Amino acid sequence: KFEKIWLIFGVASLIVFLSVLGVSAFHQGHHPSSWSNIIDPEQVDETKPFDEPGLKKVEGKEWDYELVFVASAFLYAPSEVQIPLGSTVKIIATTKDVIHGFQIPGSNVNMMLEPGYIVEYITTLNQPGEFLVLCNEYCGVGHHMMTSKIEVV
């Protein structure tokens, strides 16, 4: 009788644990399921906003700038960008070929770019300086050279 209670308790906590895992995986949005986050990887250069990578000032939104990145083996477009200190920026990124990473060491920006998906991240830049964008997913022979630079001034 006593053992049965423990068995039920064990199964119940396993279910709780698994559902917590499921919820956090969903919130991190590694696999966005909304149709608006889907893009044809062959048409990246022709699809807005990826036809014009770089920084754009926007009006009437909760963020001041949109920063569009296109990753491909083995570079990011833009390779360098300057952003005014204190601005809130929406990073919008995708990849044209294979899976690439998008990590800014020293910040909490750490995304995975998958072909066919658009990822977005809103952040406020309160720290001046130069920040590197690094690829942290192995993508081929040029992987270790794949960087971009964000200058917050």
Q: Which residues bind ligand CUA (CB under 6 A)?
A: 74, 100-101, 135, 137-139, 143, 146
Residue 63 vs 74, nearer CB to ligand CUA: 74
Q: Are the C-beta atoms of residues 94 and 120 closer than 8 Å to each other?
A: no
* Residue 22 CB, nearest approach to ligand CUA (Å): 28
**What is the radius of gyration, based on Cα positions, of the chain?**
20
Q: Which is nearer to ligand CUA, 118 or 135 (CB)?
A: 135
Give yes or no for a contact between 51 and 45, defined as CB atoms under 8 angstroms apart: yes
* Shortest distance, position 14 Cβ to ligand CUA, whole Å: 36
| Token pair for 118 | 């658009």
Token look-up 């963020």 returns 63
Residue among 124, 129, 120 nearest 102 (CA): 120
In the complex, least distance from residue 68 CB atom to ligand CUA, rounded to whole angstroms: 17
Least Å distance, CB 137 to ligand CUA, is 5
Q: Which is nearer to ligand CUA, 90 or 100 (CB)?
A: 100
Rounded to whole angstroms, how far apart are CA atoms 100 and 19? Answer: 29
One-letter amino acid of 99: I
Q: What DSSP line would sit under 4-29, residue for residue?
A: HHHHHHHHHHHHHHHHHHHHHHHHHT
Complex with ligand CUA: residue 39 or 98, whichever CB lies closer: 98
Q: How far is the CB of 140 from ligand CUA (least distance, A)?
A: 7
Residue 81 or 146 with smaller CB distance to ligand CUA: 146
